[in-house]
């Protein structure tokens, strides 16, 4: 089923630009797949894709159009969890780089050279590795190694894919990127404390997708148990809707979540919907 945007284009851009939040609040917009805009005092994009994604013969793989052209928006910080094209999209990165000379890009160290090849200045790239952190205006970011499909490093020993544990305007957010669950991951996440907001992949994995070189993630049921175990206050499922042949029904997550703990909160935002989280 083709999905539609609740808000898109200039209407969505204006809402993101004009939204103001108080201390102890963040505004969050769901942008599809693992993409989010997060606003405290500054605008943050994480794993956002504002361009088409095509296969080897030029056929679009997206289930829905981008929310706007990349030239319509600017960001203070752009975070990418790893190099895959639905997380570190070439045209999106180039457009955001050209649109604001002050944008700072935060990526795994294994991705820095690729970002430089896209035309970014090394001075505007912050590379993080497992358990490294950086403090910027209105945001603190701590890096956690993820298993996609296992905990990998490049030739220099730098983590290949990361989750980002963030403090934004007094709110603790955790964006898991792409990952399976491992003992190492669970221990690392628990060491950071319970997040106010958890963004977690749910699309799972199977033989046929892996045969087509589509690396999976934890399942909807695993994601529900994980969220409850780490005591996340609000959980937002992700990575289930953008790429043809790699989708799942997010209601499976809702069902698993409610089977185990009806007192804990979740949100299932539609494309372009804003959520304001308050402590």
In this predicted model, what pLDDT tens digit does every residue of 241-279 receive, in sequence order?
Answer: 999 989 999 999 999 999 999 999 999 999 999 999 998
Q: Is the pLDDT of residue 3 over 60?
A: yes
Q: Answer for the pair 177, 161: CB distance below 8 angstroms, yes or no.
A: yes
Q: How far is CA 144 from the centre of its chain?
A: 13
- Mean pLDDT, residues 98-123 taken together: 96
Q: What is the CATH number of domain 9-278?
A: 3.60.15.10
Q: Which residues contact 193 (CB under 8 A, 6 or more apart)?
A: 172
Nearest-Å Rg of the Cα atoms of the chain is: 17
pTM of the model: 0.97
Q: What is the pLDDT of residues 68-103, one digit of tens each?
A: 999 999 999 999 999 999 999 999 999 999 999 999
Distance between CA 93 and CA 115 in Å, rounded?
8
With a pLDDT cut of 70, the percent of the chain lying above it is 99
DSSP three-state, residue 56: coil
Q: Answer for the pair 181, 143: CB distance below 8 angstroms, yes or no.
A: no
Backbone φ and ψ for 25, nearest 5 degrees, come out as -135, 155
Q: Is the pLDDT of residue 1 over 80?
A: no
How many other C-beta atoms are found inside a 10 Å radius of the C-beta of residue 57?
5
Distance between CA 140 and CA 117 in Å, rounded?
27
- Mean pLDDT, residues 146-165 taken together: 95
- Mean pLDDT, residues 211-230 taken together: 94
């Amino acid at each position: 089923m083709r999905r539609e945007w609740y808000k898109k284009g200039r209407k969505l851009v204006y809402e993101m630009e004009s939204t103001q939040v108080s201390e102890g609040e963040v505004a969050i917009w769901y942008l599809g797949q693992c993409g989010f805009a997060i606003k405290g005092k500054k605008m943050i994009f994480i794993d956002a894709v504002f361009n088409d994604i095509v296969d080897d013969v030029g056929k679009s793989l997206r289930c829905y159009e981008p929310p706007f052209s990349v030239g319509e928006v600017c960001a203070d910080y752009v975070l990418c969890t790893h190099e895959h094209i639905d997380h570190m999209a070439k045209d999106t990165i180039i457009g955001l780089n050209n649109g604001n000379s002050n944008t700072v890009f935060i990526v795994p160290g294994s991705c820095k050279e690729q970002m430089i090849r896209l035309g970014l200045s090394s001075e505007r790239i912050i590379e993080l590795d497992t358990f490294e952190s950086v403090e910027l205006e209105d945001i603190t970011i701590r890096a956690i190694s993820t298993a996609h499909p296992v905990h990998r490093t490049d030739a220099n020993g730098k983590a290949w894919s990361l989750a980002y544990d963030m403090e934004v305007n007094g709110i603790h957010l955790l964006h898991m990127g792409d990952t399976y669950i491992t003992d190492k991951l669970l221990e690392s996440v628990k060491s950071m404390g319970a997040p106010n907001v958890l963004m977690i992949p749910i699309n799972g994995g199977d033989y046929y997708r892996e045969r087509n070189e589509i690396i999976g993630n934890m399942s909807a049921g695993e994601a529900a148990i994980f969220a409850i175990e780490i005591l996340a206050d609000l959980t937002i499922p992700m990575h289930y809707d953008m790429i043809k042949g790699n989708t799942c029904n997010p209601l499976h997550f809702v069902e698993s979540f409610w089977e185990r703990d009806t007192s804990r909160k979740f949100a299932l935002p539609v494309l372009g919907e804003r959520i304001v989280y308050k402590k």
